[in-house]
Structure 1
Amino acid sequence: MNIAKRKILQAASELFLEGGIAALSVRSIAKKAGVSTIGIYSHFQGKEGILDELYIQGFELVMQAMDFERKELTAKDIVLKGVRGYFAMADVHEGHYRLIFGESDSRYTPSEEAKAVAEKAFGQLLNVTALLLPEKASMALKQKNALEIWAFVHGYVSLKHHAVASIFETPDWYTMAEEAVSVHIDAILAKPENQA
């Protein structure tokens, strides 16, 4: 990706973090990135193209967070390492995170390409969490477990980023989340039907 495109996406991500989709206009992105509005259209065909690229990048970052060497790790350790990667991604790329998970807005609908990347990311999460189950487990059970773990993780990330977080004495949100996910994983592993 060339420098101008990177600057445009960085500017859009920062503006999105400051004010959501409402803060994004071709003019405001161009000004923050230090490029012309024509440059925006030539690289992305406007605001929709920029949002799509940020959405795709966000889910690619989620997949990268779950892509690591798994040798000599237990299934539980693999899931917890993926959870820690997810938390790190949510902190470092908060604008992307909020676009893909937290800031739905009728002014933006992901393209089919963007939806396909999101589906691929969920597939990767499904594959990671399926390691907790016997190979013969049904797809419905694999999806249920993946969604439960994702709900834990997303809930903690959302609370950490939410204004309500300021009323608490700075809890370590991610340690709390990891402990909750760990307990849930132990419960999954303890079910007789989930033991190989």
Structure 2
Amino acid sequence: MNIAKRKILQAASELFLEGGIAALSVRSIAKHAGVSTIGIYSHFQGKEGILDELYIQGFELVMQAMDFEQHDLSPKEVMRRGIRGYFAMAEAHEGHYRLIFGENDSRYTPSEEAKAVAEKAFGQLLKVTALLLPDDANMALKHKNALEIWAFVHGYVSLKHHAVASIFETPDWYVMAEDALCMHIDAILATHTHLNSE
């Protein structure tokens, strides 16, 4: 990706973080990035193209967070490492994160290409969370566990990003989240160990 495109996407991400989709206009993005409005159209065909690229990048960052060497790691440690990567991604790329997880609105609908990348990211999470389950677990159970874990980590990230977080004296949201999620993982592992022993 060339420097101009990177500058445009960085500017759009920063503006989105400041004011959501309402803050994104071709003119405001161009001004923030230090490029011409013509440059925006030549690189992205306008605001929709920029939003799609941010959306795709966001889910690619989610996939990268869960993409690491898993050999010699227990299923629980694989999940813990994935969770830490997810939290690091959410912290380092907050604008992207807010766009892909719920702070978009009716003014933006992801393209089919963008939706396909989101589905691919969920597929990667599904593969990682399936490690907690028996080999013969059905797809419905794998989906259920993946969604539970994703909802869990997303809930903590959203609370940390929310203004209400400043009310609570929480030393580290992500340490607290990892501890709580580990209890959930232990419960999943214990349930299936118990079922297999019956």
Name the TM-score, length of structure 1 as normaliser. 0.98
Aligned partners of 1:66 and 1:85 also within 8 Å: yes
Counterpart Cα distance in 1 of 2:6 and 2:23: 19
Q: How does 1:121-140 map to 2 (within 5 A)?
A: 121-140=121-140
User: What is the Cα deviation at residue 36 of structure 1?
Assistant: 0.4
Aligned partners of 2:48 and 2:108 also within 8 Å: yes
> Residue by residue, what CA displacement relative to the aligned partner does 1:33-84 show, whole Å, maximum 9, x if unpaired?
0100000000000000000000000000000000001111000000110000
User: Would you say how many aligned residue pairs link Structure 1 and Structure 2?
Assistant: 195
> Residue by residue, what CA displacement relative to the aligned partner does 1:125-177 show, whole Å, maximum 9, x if unpaired?
00000000111001000000001111110000000000000101143110111
| Partner in structure 1 of residue 51 of structure 2 | 51
Name the TM-score, length of structure 2 as normaliser. 0.97
> Residue by residue, what CA displacement relative to the aligned partner does 1:81-128 show, whole Å, maximum 9, x if unpaired?
000000000000000000000303000000000000000000000000
What residue ranges of structure 2 are gaps of 5+ in the alignment? none
Aligned partners of 2:13 and 2:96 also within 8 Å: yes
Letter in 2 for 1:174: Y
Q: How does 1:37-186 map to 2 (within 5 A)?
A: 37-186=37-186
4+ runs of 1 displaced by more than 3 Å?
none
Aligned partners of 2:44 and 2:50 also within 8 Å: yes
CA RMSD of aligned residues (A): 0.9
What residue ranges of structure 1 are gaps of 5+ in the alignment? none
Change (3 A) 1:137 1:194: farther
Letter in 2 for 1:71: H
Aligned partners of 2:20 and 2:104 also within 8 Å: no
Counterpart Cα distance in 1 of 2:154 and 2:188: 19
User: What is the Cα deviation at residue 6 of structure 1?
Assistant: 0.3
| Partner in structure 2 of residue 17 of structure 1 | 17
